[in-house]
Structures are given as structure tokens and as C-alpha cells.
Amino acid sequence: MKISFSNINPHFFSFRENQRPKENSLEKSPKSDKFEMSIGYVNDLHGQTNNMTRILSGIKGDLKVSAGDNNIGDEKNKAVNLSVVKFMNMAGIVGSAVGNHELDTKQRDFADTANKFNGNYFAVNLKQTRLEDEDGEEVEEQERMQLDKVIKKSAIVEIRGEKIGLIGTAPVDLTERITHPSYHSDCKVDDLEDSIEDIQEEIENLQKQGVNKIVLLSHLGNERDKTVAKNTTGIDVIIGGHTHELIKGIKEGENLLYSKNGEPVVITEAGKNGNYFGKLNLTFDKDGVITKVQNNLGETRNFSKNMINQYIINEILGEPEVVGYIKSVTPPPLTLIEENAHANFMCDAMRYELGTDIAIWNNSGTRSYFQEGIIDSRDIKDIAPFEDRISVADVSEKKLVDMFKHTIEDTYKTHGNKPGLLAVSGLNYTVNPKEGKLTAMNFVDKYGKEHPIDIENPREDKFYKVAQDSFMMFEGADFDILASKDECINYPFNKDFLACEYIKHRNEPIEINQTGRIRFED
């Protein structure tokens, strides 16, 4: 079964068909039997408030939805998460999947945020122990809530008299990705096989209510979305997230697949951090089967800020401080296995302002990038939005080398290359991409002189003063722990504060070109 689709200019939302319906196309119904609608979509916004003010100027659609990870961080990011809700309400978003970042917070904080959202959060595959069956002290200490009061399995919205079903899924690796697993130890997410059963059961519930057009808001990730599309019946569109794919246009076999009964299923995903947003134009026949589709992507930086939303965000977060001027920038990387000049600059700020030998940051934690022109504290906050306070510790050469070895090995053997190559200041290192191994490393002193480190026999009695955020230094996550909390000097500020101070202290136009710190063997 084939459908007609069009790929369009992703920047200007203008349409051009590159494939017209063939004789055996599904488009055989009389014009009166067609139903046309559009879906405006976002995913993995990660609390990027600057991008949200631009998206608000461009997002269009009869139905506006999100595939989750709108929020960022735990209770320390409460003000940012409140700004996100304000954006979603102003944008008219009516539904969102529950992503892992939605549950970085305690359940009560998430419920407070969800109750301010004019739409609904969905996660058909998220299961929770009933509160009455839990330990009462733990419920009180962890501020537990019955999440099914704020998270639905599905809902029906009406567009020009037509019923549209919305279902949502949380990521199957939710408990591995949330910041504080203890906050949600009473929860589990079904594995993919069981999630597919959950989705199919909910589809059938909607169909019994006369719904024949169904949109799945999925935070499962792109490959799992494809598996869902091919192993269910009744889904028409999957708005995807979690794996940060940037899916342009429509390509059969890639994001145009077919369900168990041969009906078309369209999959979309708009990258990460709100750098893009989408608009999907659809035509259905009288049976609710897609006959035509066009997929648009808008690049956020091409849209001006919505000043009303900017004002509201400033009311919540405060007026940003202008700190300097960016003269030129190196383009940000597209993958986690490229060097990131923007993250390296943030490492320079940590090293210089704190007077350490070395500074390290995880590439995947970089949520935005520098742009030419005047820069303010909000712009820099978007680059480092997590409230992971800065820590400094004396770290042995051996611990340092072992951490880099393990991180590089993990990066090259995992899907999506997570956790990614590390941004550095005061170091450079060499990687063999084919073998996924660290092959050389040098300490670079404050005068720029390189001092080779023997990575085969790193010293346990030689120490470097290292700056990292607490997430990396002693909370671990995807990295070796370099020092315990008690071994660190722990500062009450994040990288964004240090970057602002660094730019102000330099008092000159800034060039973001800090590369050459990662070398790659052929």
C-alpha cells in the first residue's frame, strides 16, 4: 500500500510535491470524504527558553504536540520548568509524552508542573505501585504522588468535527536516564514488547469510541518507534523523541513505514534542544487512512523571538545580564564523537576562573551553543542549563587516564555514541576511532607547554587540580567518579556563572574556536 508524499523546504514552510499519486494510490475517495489536518510538533526541548521564544513565532498546526523532554533538571531547575509550561500553554500544545527529564524532579514537583499545563501528559507504559502499598515514611520523604492523576494513557481531541486519538509512551530506559532514581523507585516502564501491547490495547479502546485517526507521542527513541509502527495496527503518526534524530522530509522505509495490516505510519522527530520544530500536513481518506503527507522542519534560529513569551520568561527567571560580544563561532558538532569548541570554551572558563590545572565537561551536557553578536547570561544558561554545581579536587594521573579510557571505549560501542568525547581545558588527547581507544594524552600547562602523560603507566602519586561539575565529579552517571564529595571543594554556582565571569574579565570580543584538543588517528 503506497501513499503520496512531498518533501519541502524546511526553513520557509513552502510546499512542493516530488511524487504525485499513482493510479493505484490510496487517494481514490471523493473530495468530500477527505480530511486534511496539520500537526505542529516539538521534542526534546530540554528547557531551552531562548529557543522556545523563537518557536512560538513559527509553530503552526491544527494540533500541536510534544514528544517529551520539555523540561530539564531537578528541583533546582523549577523556575525553568515553570517557564516551559508557560511556553507550552502559549503555543497551544495539547499533549506531551512523558520523557525522562519530566521525571528528573520529585513526583510532587512534577505534579505541580503538570497541573499548570493546559494539556495532558501521556505514558501508557508507565506503571506505579499504589501509594497505600508503599512505605508511608518513604512516600512522605520522597514526596510521592499517585502519578495516574496527572499522567494519562490517552485522550481524544476534536478537530473540525473529527476525533483524533492521542496516546503517549515513556522511554523504556527511564529509570536509567533520570537524575534521581530514588525519586521514582516505585515506578517502572514496561519493556518494548509489553509497551507495544499497552499501545495496542489503548488503540483498541480509542477505536471503540469511534476514533480512526491516532497519533502516538513517543519518547521511546527512533529505532523503537519503527518497531512499534511495524508491530501494531491503528497508529497513523508517531511524533518521536529521546534519540534526537533530525528527520527531514518523507522517505519510504525510513520514516514512512507500514503497520501489521499494511496501512501507512509516518514517523517524525525534530532533533534536540529546540533547534528545530516541525509541521506535518496530512490527508486522510474516509476510513482514517493517510493518503498524502508532507513533513516540514523549521530551523528555530531563522525565527524572531516572541516578545510576550520573552517578557513572561523574564518575569519568572529574571532579566538576563549582557556580558559581552561574540565575534565569531566555530559551528557546533552534529555528533558526540566530534570536538566541541563551545564546550571547550566553557572548560576554559572553569579552569581560568578557578585556577585549576585541568577542566573537563561532558559533550552531551552541552544543550545549546554560542552565536555571533551580543551575548547575555540567559544565552549561556541555555548552553549549561543543569544546576550541577562546580567541584574541584586533586585527582591522580591514573584516575584521570582510566576515566578517559573508559569514556572513550563506552562512547564508540554504544548506540548514539553516548556519553561522548570529553571537552577539556589543560589537556589534549588522541583517539583511535576504529578501535575506540585512547592512544595518547598531554597535560598542557598555563603557558601552553605540553607534558606527555604515559597512558600505559599513569602515575598514582602525581596529582592535578581538576574542575568538573558535581554530576561528573562524584555523582558518577555515565563516568568514572574522580573524587568523593568530601574530597572536593564544592562551589555554590554552575558553569554558566563562570562563563559569564570569564567573558566579562576578558573584556574583548570573543572567538569560539577552541579546537585541536582532540586528535584523531587515521
DSSP notation for 6-57:
EE--TTT-----SS---TT-S--S-GGG-EEEEEEEE---TT-HHHHHHHHH
The three-state secondary structure class of 176 is helix
Kindly report, as residue ranges, where domains of CATH 3.60.21.10 are found in the chain: 4-302
pLDDT digit string (tens) for the chain, length 522 residues: 556 655 543 333 233 333 333 333 344 444 458 999 999 999 999 999 999 999 999 999 999 999 999 999 888 889 999 999 999 999 999 999 999 999 999 999 999 999 999 999 999 999 999 998 888 888 999 999 999 999 999 999 999 999 999 999 999 999 888 988 999 999 999 999 999 999 999 999 999 999 999 999 999 999 999 999 999 999 999 999 999 999 999 999 999 999 999 999 999 999 999 999 999 999 999 999 999 999 999 999 899 988 888 888 889 889 999 999 999 999 999 899 999 999 999 999 999 999 999 999 998 888 899 999 999 999 999 999 888 899 999 999 999 999 999 999 999 998 778 899 999 999 999 999 999 999 999 999 999 999 999 999 999 999 999 999 998 998 866 789 999 999 999 999 999 999 999 999 999 999 999 999 999 998
The three-state secondary structure class of 316 is helix
Kindly report, as residue ranges, where domains of CATH 3.90.780.10 are found in the chain: 320-520
- For residue 395, the model assigns a pLDDT of 98
* Residue 66 Cα distances to 167, 267, 451, angstroms: 12, 13, 49
What's the CATH code, domain 4-302? 3.60.21.10
Which architecture, in CATH terms, is 320-520?
Answer: Alpha-Beta Complex (3.90)
Q: What's the gap between Cα 237 and its chain centre?
A: 20
Q: How far apart are CA 42 and CA 343, in angstroms?
A: 25
Which residues, listed in sequence order, are joined to residue 215 by a DSSP beta bridge? Answer: 166, 237
Q: Does residue 404 contact residue 441 with C-beta atoms inside 8 Å?
A: yes
The pTM for the full model equals 0.80
Q: Does residue 34 contact residue 56 with C-beta atoms inside 8 Å?
A: no
